[in-house]
Chains A and B, each alone.
Chain A
Amino acid sequence: MAALTDLTLSGLVAALARKEASALEVAEAHLRKLDEHRALNAFITETPDRARAMAKASDARRAKGEAGLLEGVPLAIKDLFCTDGVPTTAASHILEGFVPRYESTVTANLWKAGAVMVGKTNLDEFAMGSSNMTSFFGGVENPWKRRGDNRKLVPGGSSGGSAAAVAAYMVPGSTGTDTGGSIRQPAAFCGIVGLKPTYGRCSRWGVVAFSSSLDQPGPLARTVEDSALLLQGMAGHDPKDSTSAPLAVPDFVAAARNPDIRGLKVGIPKEYRVDGTSPEIVALWDKGMEMLAAAGAIPVEVSLPHTKYALPAYYIVAPAECSSNLARYDGVRFGLRVPGKDLIEMYQNTRGAGFGKETRRRILIGTYVLSAGYYDAYYRKAQQVRALIARDFKEAFTRCDVLLTPTAPTAAFAAGDRMDDPVTMYLNDMFTIPASMAGLPGISVPAGLDKDGLPLGLQVIGRAFDEETMLRAAAALEKAAAFAARPAGY
């Protein structure tokens, strides 16, 4: 049998069911990987004791014949999900030492399904970033390196630790959150699968809020089927999140196991052919469409005319919501407190010391666009543009069933690159943000390597609450691309 850490998540579920290994053995094998690859800085908090206790409880449940969907599967949790009794930092100094006394709905669902937590993963501070470089606890290293080049590369962001942990075989799957691409872009940079569900599919309750009209939890894993299985365990209506969709959870796994796409119409949005995209990515995109066509899909050129405005509109909406959400960090009820001569100075000192550079920048942008006299010019305008973006997608989906696009304009870049100009960094999310603005599901599938040996991803975007068709197309793409590369040394 293959090493336990080499199995896919579905493979692990099967091996555990056949009693080829106990949950405790599986947990120990993965905890050893956490030890071995600690230098990647993928985790902010490791929870080996809790993992062992949860694994033992899992073995006990299985012995009683009560195995759940993810029984005994070790998972890494983005450190943005509140976990009862385990520090939750959002990678920010302002939340250092914060120990929630409640559990997020998504993680509670996972534990109910039998999963085992091995630790909390690193991320960009408050999930704001595309490189994982804004974490107070230091950047995460991508397990992949350019061939013949030893420079450290970023894992993408914001769910960079979750992506690196899966790519380095420390865990078979992890949770992430995606506001403008924070699951899909790091998945592409790390050569794994990342799925952002439809807004409302997974509960946001207990997830540290960044931009409430965009944030959405989702899974990262090494195969499309594994991502479907994890989503199955995470999703579901939650009365505690008023934007949680009151819909039954479909059989995502069955969809991912059915790569039959004969007759499926795959839209290619012409506005996604933009300057600045690596020619290799454009070539891979064309090849991806050819592969889907060879599997029986019908290519359709579609137009999303407002694509180029999605990014600037996002950089009004997301900071505006961020500035409101982050108002709660005031040094009064939890987190850091830095004293001052009066209450206002205490707020200012706490927030000035507790938030990092990018977070401060976004709070200032958000405060400005919401301030008196500017609301209509910025926030209202951005929401109107957002309505047009959503309308574009609606019209495109009258002509096709899914969309195929690149996930990111480049492969992973070196740590420290693109840090000088915020707008250059923001452009990383140009292909993921439009679907986020429309609340649509998207999945990144590793589809090839570039000339330097780095993984590249393609994105499949689906209709709202039609993750099943999206998974079917993603599974077909995965099958045709047959991506089997591993980062050297992992």
Chain B
Amino acid sequence: MSLDKDTVARIARLARLKVPEEELAPLAGELSGIFAWIEQLNEVDTRDVAPLASVSDVTLPMREDKVTDGGIAERVLANAPGDAVYIDPSDRNAGGFFTVPKVVE
């Protein structure tokens, strides 16, 4: 499997990752090398083998559907890049918002 520059640019866009134009070609080379090495998996006969998604045998536990925490808006927003906006600045745990660049005109 060989990846070209355009494919790398397409994956980078899917991953929302800005990759400078001059890095696309070297990356295509590196990734092609890695995928060529990964190709050896095709030697393994995996017909009728169920994929193993998790090594833990346990069934995922269920819990009662009830609120277990909350009222901690200040802690949730503490690391917001850009300024968080609080509904009630005198009671930050009452709720608030992350701010992002304008998305609708």
Contacts and interface: CB of A to CB of B under 8 A. Distances in A.
Q: Is the interface of B mostly helix, strand, loop or mixed?
A: loop
A365 interface: yes
A365 B31 contact: yes
A368 B31 contact: yes
Contacts of A245: 56, 58
A332 B100 contact: yes
B82 interface: yes
B65 to A, nearest CB: 14
B1 to A, nearest CB: 9
A490 interface: no
A349 B18 contact: yes
B67 interface: no
Contacts of B33: 421-423
A340 B31 CA distance: 28
Interface residues of B, number: 50
Contact of A387 (B7, B15, B50): B50
Nearest to B3: A368
A50 B38 CA distance: 46
A351 B56 contact: no
Interface in B48-63: 49-56, 58, 60-61, 63
B52 A423 contact: no
A453 B12 CA distance: 45
A367 B8 CA distance: 10
Interface in B78-99: 78-82, 98
B27 interface: yes
A488 B70 CA distance: 53
A200 B57 CA distance: 10
Given A99-B78, A309-B41, A383 B19 contact: no
Interface of B: 3, 7-8, 11-20, 27, 30-31, 33-34, 37-38, 40-44, 46, 49-56, 58, 60-61, 63, 72, 75-76, 78-82, 98, 100-101, 103
Interface of A: 98-102, 199-200, 213, 239, 242-243, 245-246, 306, 308-309, 312-313, 315-316, 323, 327, 330-337, 339-340, 342-344, 346-349, 351-353, 355, 360-361, 363-365, 367-368, 371, 378, 380-388, 390, 421-423, 437-439, 464
